[in-house]
Amino acid sequence: MSLPYETVIGVETHVELATRSKMFCPCSATWFGAPANSLVCPVCLGLPGALPVPNRRAIELAMTAGLALHCEVPAHTKFDRKNYLYPDLPKGYQISQYDLPLNVSGWLALDTPDGPKRVRIRRAHLEEDTATSKHGEGYALIDFNRSGVPLLEIVSEPDLRSADEAVAYVQALREILVFAGVSEMRLEEGAGRFDVNVSIRFTEDGEVRWPPQSEIKNLNSYAAIREAVPHEAERLWRSWRDGGELRMRTGKITVGWSPERRETFLQRSKEEVEDYRYFPDPDLVSFTPSRETVERLRASLPELPGDRRARFARVYALSDYDARVLVADRALADYFEAAVKASTRDPKQIANWVTGEVRRRMKDAGDGAGVPFPPEQLAALVELVASGEVSGSAAKEVFGDMWTTRRPPSEIVRAKGLTQVSDEGAIAAAVDAVLAENAKAVADYRAGNARALGALVGQVRKRTGGKANLSVVNRVLAERIARGEATR
Ligand code: ZN
Ligand code: MN
């Protein structure tokens, strides 16, 4: 479906940083799920006379995020007061950064169906989160636990062209931030929130038109972005076409998104940056990040997901899919690499176990659970299969045992008698016996009934106590039948 307009999208992402304490006070920043108003002090309650002290770790994490996003670190940076009045902001201002943010001019690489694309990052600045409010009939309750939690606001340029691209962008952004240890960014806990700027661009009477945008505030899921963006773009288009508000409007508007009604609603028209009366916070000094600090943080950056995927595909000859699945989870990728190091076999065999059984078990075990045995043991299991000592199906059983008992695979194989028979002489004897006893199945097979072969394989397995190496059985059977054919 081709639309009569182009959708132009820029995203402002708010991310809670993974610090132990809040941005300007020693209160715990682990606010989600804590009893209401249990993590507070005069600073984060905004009491008169309380003085903020910046959290060094938060500044470092914010800079780490900037470096991971290829931003420049400016020579000078400072905190400003962004003035506005709201019950969840008792000071009457939010400490944020205005004209000298910590990070500027970065970019993020995106894979799109049309090929790779760079989304420019305009800036990423540090600020404090607000309290949360709960609205009831005729009253509101405020919980200050979240007040003062360090927040990084990452602003993209309007480089995105569809809701799918916007979602791909925030997913890639989240992946980088989680990888770099900057944030857990649990969306379901509100630790990542998106303000999405949507506008439409089109040609009318030979002229390019690009009327002002709508900012959709506080989307907190990928599904919401996917639904809200096309909805608002279409609403703007209709408004223009039907001579509605967009024809008169000169500035942007702010809208909310109702997931229940699946539509946007007007929050504020006319809100310009001047309205916030930004000025440098007199309680906080401006500062100059030292080159040493910047270089130390740069050196501590892990290999980022895109680079790691490319390396996995190149060095281990993995498919794009395998590389993607492994790198999607940093711990899983580390585990895979350690197992590969401990093994002499094709890394693809290790990858099959890690993306298959290991991942399935981890999912079943639930959040945060790691693999209960070291990667060397997985490598040992792969070796047992590759050398033909155990069959693929027996290996799955061994794996299950390793998961629950943590015993080494060789020990489990021995204890359970799972060693498979690969000895050709023993298998050939069983094959010959089976062929002699099943003349009818052999004849059926020769007559073109392929399923008869399966029955013969089953008989051989039975004769060897279920331990015959199936690939050897299949080969010997085929050889014997072919030979019988030739001498008939
Ligand atoms: Zn506090
Ligand atoms: Mn903000």
Residue 416 burial (CB count, 10 A): 13
Residue type present at position 414: R
Q: In the predicted model, is pLDDT for residue 237 greater than 90?
A: yes
**Ligand that comes closest to the CA of residue 40:** 1
Read off the pLDDT band of 271 (50, 70, 90). low
| pLDDT at site 273 | 65
82 CA to centre of ligand 2 in angstroms: 9
> What DSSP string runs through 395-453?
HHHHHHHHHHH---HHHHHHHHT---B--HHHHHHHHHHHHHH-HHHHHHHHTT-THHH
161: helix, strand or coil: coil
Lowest mean pLDDT among 114-118, 257-261, 467-471: 467-471
153 CA to centre of ligand 2 in angstroms: 6
**Ligand that comes closest to the CA of residue 24:** 1
Q: In the predicted model, is pLDDT for residue 422 greater than 80?
A: no
Residue 442 burial (CB count, 10 A): 21
Read off the pLDDT band of 328 (50, 70, 90). confident
Give the mean model confidence (pLDDT) for residues 267-291: 85
| pLDDT at site 140 | 92
Quick: pLDDT tens for 12-52: 999 999 999 999 999 999 999 999 999 999 999 999 999 99
pTM exceeding 0.85: no
Q: For residue 273, give every residue at least 6 positions away whose Cβ sits within 8 Å of its Cβ, in sequence order, or none.
A: none
307 CA to centre of ligand 2 in angstroms: 30
| pLDDT at site 270 | 67
Q: In the predicted model, is pLDDT for residue 283 greater than 70?
A: yes
Domains, the chain, ordered by start: 6-292 (no CATH), 303-416 (no CATH), 424-487 (1.10.10.410)
CA distances to 10, 77, 152, 170, 458 from 295, in Å:
30, 17, 20, 27, 64
Q: What angle do CA 465, 466, 471 make, to 5 degrees?
A: 130
126 CA to centre of ligand 1 in angstroms: 17
CB 25 within 8 A of CB 148: yes
| pLDDT at site 469 | 82
Read off the pLDDT band of 440 (50, 70, 90). confident
Q: In the predicted model, is pLDDT for residue 486 greater than 60?
A: no
Long-range contacts at 211-214 (CB < 8 A, ≥ 24 apart):
211/236, 211/240, 211/246, 211/247, 211/249, 212/246, 212/249, 212/250, 212/251, 212/252, 212/253, 213/8, 213/252, 214/252, 214/253, 214/254, 214/255, 214/264
Read off the pLDDT band of 297 (50, 70, 90). very high
Around ion ligand 1, residues with a beta carbon closer than 5 Å are: 25, 27, 41, 43-44
163 CA to centre of ligand 2 in angstroms: 22
Helix 320-327 to helix 305-315 angle (10° resolution) is: 140
Give the mean model confidence (pLDDT) for residues 101-111: 94
**Counts for the chain of helices (H) and strands (E), in that order:** 17, 14
| pLDDT at site 279 | 96
pLDDT, averaged across the chain: 91
Q: Which residue has the tokens 């699946």?
A: 262
Instruction: Output b/e per residue, 461-481; b: 16+ Cβ within 10 A.
Output: bebbeebbbeebbeebbeebb
